Amino acid sequence: MTALHSPDHWAVYNAAQPGRAARELCQEVVSLAGPGAGRQAVDLGCGAGVETAALLGAGWRVHALDGEPTAPHLVRTTTGGAEGAGLSVAVVPFAELTELPPADLLYSGYALPYAAPDDFPRVWAAVRRSLRPGAWLAVNLFGVNDSFAGTIDGTFLTREEVERLLDGLDVLAFREEDEDGPSFSGPKHWHVFDVIARAPR
């Protein structure tokens, strides 16, 4: 466990992830989208690449990116160095993110809330632009009741704001969690929106 504010928090957090199962939201969208069959996915805020590996395993090509400089090494280790099999990895902090590759599936697990409010609209616009017709989107966003709100320079949204972000998409799953629970940094109040949506064809 490391404090969320410690400079090596994400390096320590991500180093502890290999070995767990892929997150349920990722498994859910992979199962809805069917075999990747060489289609392009983006794992935005990929961390150690556990979900990147799940996507590769389901036949997707994956562009994995994260702001943490230690992520590429971890992703390569987690995925067994799949660069020849459709993996690309990049270090891009949200503060510098302006464009994402065109994607048939974009997954972002527990990462977008760490974009500063000044960066989030630009990052979200890049997410929306990256979605090809019929593309799948699966993201976690944090709500205003989350106990991290006010303690970090992140983005915490109302339900209405999340709904507005999804304008024009076909929303297939929209779940809101607003309860206490454990976290890597100790017990906290989680206010999380789990979303699966699809771009129009």
Ligand X SMILES: C[S@@+](CC[C@H](N)C(=O)[O-])C[C@H]1O[C@@H](n2cnc3c(N)ncnc32)[C@H](O)[C@@H]1O
Taking CB under 6 A as the criterion, the residue among 2, 18, 110, 161 binding ligand X is: 110
Q: Identify the three-state secondary structure at position 12.
A: helix
Size, binding site for ligand X by CB under 6 A: 17
Q: Which is nearer to ligand X, 112 or 197 (CB)?
A: 112
What count of other Cβ atoms lies within 10 Å of the Cβ of residue 174?
14
Backbone angles phi, psi at 179, to 5 degrees: -155, 160
Question: In the block, which residue shows the tokens 């996507």?
Answer: 55
Q: Do 198 and 30 meet the contact criterion of CB atoms below 8 Å apart?
A: no
Among 18, 59, 93, 101, binds ligand X (CB under 6 A): 93
Q: Which range binds ligand X by CB under 6 A, 39-47, 76-84, 129-137, 192-200?
A: 39-47
Cβ within 8 Å of residue 6, ≥6 positions away:
12
Distance of closest approach, residue 159 Cβ to ligand X, in angstroms: 21
Which of 111, 137, 196, 199 binds ligand X (CB under 6 A)? It is 111
Q: Which of residues 113-152 bind ligand X (CB under 6 A)?
A: 114
Q: Which residues pair with 61 in a beta bridge?
A: 40
Joined tokens for residue 51: 């979900």
CB of 168 to ligand X, least distance (A): 25
Query: According to the binding rule CB under 6 A, does residue 10 interact with ligand X?
Result: yes
- Which regions of 80-169 does DSSP assign to beta strands (E)? 87-91, 103-108, 131-143, 156-157
Site stretch for ligand X (CB under 6 A), options 34-42, 105-113, 127-135, 157-165:
105-113
Query: What residues line the site for ligand X (CB under 6 A)?
Result: 10, 13-14, 17, 23, 45-47, 66-68, 93-94, 109-111, 114
